[in-house]
Amino acid sequence: MIRAYKFLLRPTVGQQQALTEMLRDHCSLYNGALQERRDAWRHVSGTTVRYGEQSAQLKEIRAFDPECQGRWSFSSQQATLRRLDRAFAAFFRRVTSGGKPGYPRFRGVNRFDTVDFPRDGDGCRWDSTPHGPVTRVRFQGVGHVRVHRYRPVVGRVKTISVKREGKRWYVVLTAEQARPGPLPATGSVVGIDMGIASFLADSDGGFVPSPRHGRKAAAKLEAAQQALSRCKRGSKRRRKAVETVARLHRKVRRQRLDHAHKTTLDLVREHDFIAHEDLRIRNMVKAPAPKPDPDRPGAFLPNGAAAKAGLNRSISDAGWGVFLTILHAKAESAGREVIAVDPRNTSRTCPACGHVAAENRPTQDTFHCTGCGHQAHADTVGAVNVLRAGLARRNARPG
């Protein structure tokens, strides 16, 4: 299983200069090789120059130009020539298929933004200072560049690329990960109840708190969206505001993913069987409850409370959607069973005596059975009922 990572680089001024020169020289190599192929193509003999021939000239080119081409990794230069080769292969494919061919074009130095290193350790080294306090990546001719590594890289690094996007530099890695095999059985089953105050409650009485950053990010995103709606169309300010919204969205998405990966991993490790509420049914039946007005008994708050709850809801719903997708994928590769159950009545049914009543839940957090007096946290009760419904469904299945 190959996984890709992309991290921001924090080069020094000198390293930025070197990276820029590295791009420039790879670009000129690309254009030079393209020129050679064009000339050969136009020549009366109509010969074709191939990758092998161009790659064989590299040694000479490097020796001839030690100040520029000679500085960089041989392998990254080969990768650049191979990129050109792929462009030509695609061109010839279009010619034979009768499509609009579009001859490969020269690249302006600003349009050439990536240098590839096909193998870690060959002209580049990921985590080149493993005992230092920060992660660095070394590129031949550039040095050890600081990496903003916001999450660990799992598996063995295969390829490394350096990429310029606007004023920023990124390193893109691919890493080979062992496909996880089935986990040993634990004999444990669990039900989960997805909430807002807690991200989820489980049937053993445990809670996973909502991602701490979630609410803060939501508030920032809301403010950014409002700022965006006030900007004039086509203005520079608007473009900036669009960027801000996109950046915050990316951040929320990343945090949500990290949280989901961690939470699902714990569940799948500990339990053979996991039951959860069916999110689609849940969204149909559990509309946000109207808030009672504390000053006027029997009346409800007319203000933005419901709308606010709606926004928070939609954000946490998106979080659960991601969470469940990852849970199902992880469970499958680990050989665990996951079942979605109808969530209706799971919050009002007493797990001790089976009494079903809305009054069993006097407040959002508490469950107090009017039949037998059983007391527990309402979300734990929900999770116990989800587990029961899941086990009942599993046992009812033929086979």
**Which spans of this chain sit near Zn ion (rule: CB under 5 A)?**
350, 352-353, 355, 369, 371-372, 374
Considering beta carbons, is residue 137 or 369 the nearer one to Zn ion?
369
Tell me the β-bridge partners of 274: 190, 338
Please state the closest distance from residue 373 (CB atom) to Zn ion, in A.
Answer: 7
Q: Taking a C-beta distance cutoff of 8 angstroms, is the pair 194, 200 a contact?
A: yes
Check the CA dihedral 249-252-255-261 and report its sign.
negative
Cβ closest to Zn ion, residue 352 vs residue 376: 352
How far apart are CB 359 and Zn ion at their closest, in Å? 11
Which residues 6+ apart lie within 8 Å of 238 measured at CB? 228, 231, 232
Q: Sort strands 273-277 and 189-194 into parallel, antiparallel or unpaired.
A: parallel
The smaller minimum CB distance to Zn ion, of residues 197 and 357, is found at 357
Q: Tell the smallest beta-carbon distance from residue 201 to Zn ion (Å).
A: 19
Tokens of 202: 């489980």
Beta carbon nearer to Zn ion, 355 or 388: 355
Q: By the 8 A CB rule, do 76 and 115 touch?
A: yes
Cα of 289 vs its chain's centroid, Å = 33
Supply the minimum distance, in Å, between the C-beta of residue 360 and Zn ion. Answer: 7
Q: Please, which residue, 4 or 357, has the CB nearer to Zn ion?
A: 357
Residue 162 or 350: which CB sits closer to Zn ion? 350
Question: C-alpha dihedral over 390, 392, 398, 399, to 10 degrees?
Answer: 70
CB of 362 to Zn ion, least distance (A): 14
Q: How far is the CB of 394 from Zn ion (least distance, A)?
A: 24
- Report the alpha-carbon distance of residue 332 to residue 311 in Å, rounded: 32
Please give the single-letter amino acid code of residue 58: L
What is the nearest approach in angstroms of Zn ion to the Cβ of residue 370? 8
Contact (Cβ atoms closer than 8 angstroms) between residue 191 and residue 388: yes
Query: Around Cβ 175, how many Cβ atoms within 10 Å?
Result: 18
Q: Which two tokens stand for residue 307?
A: 């709308």
How do beta strands 143-148 and 189-194 pair?
Answer: unpaired
Taking the least distance from each CB to Zn ion, the nearer of 102 and 362 is: 362
Residue closer to Zn ion, measured from CB, 25 or 193: 193
In the bound state with Zn ion, the residue whose beta carbon lies nearer, of 158 and 374, is 374
Give the whole-angstrom CA distance, residue 181 versus residue 334. 6
Q: CA nearest 218: which of 266, 172, 256?
A: 256
Shortest reach from residue 354's CB to Zn ion, in Å: 7
Alpha helices in 148-205 (DSSP H): none
Residue 382 CB, nearest approach to Zn ion (Å): 15
Amino acid at 198: S
Helices (H), 120-235: 212-229
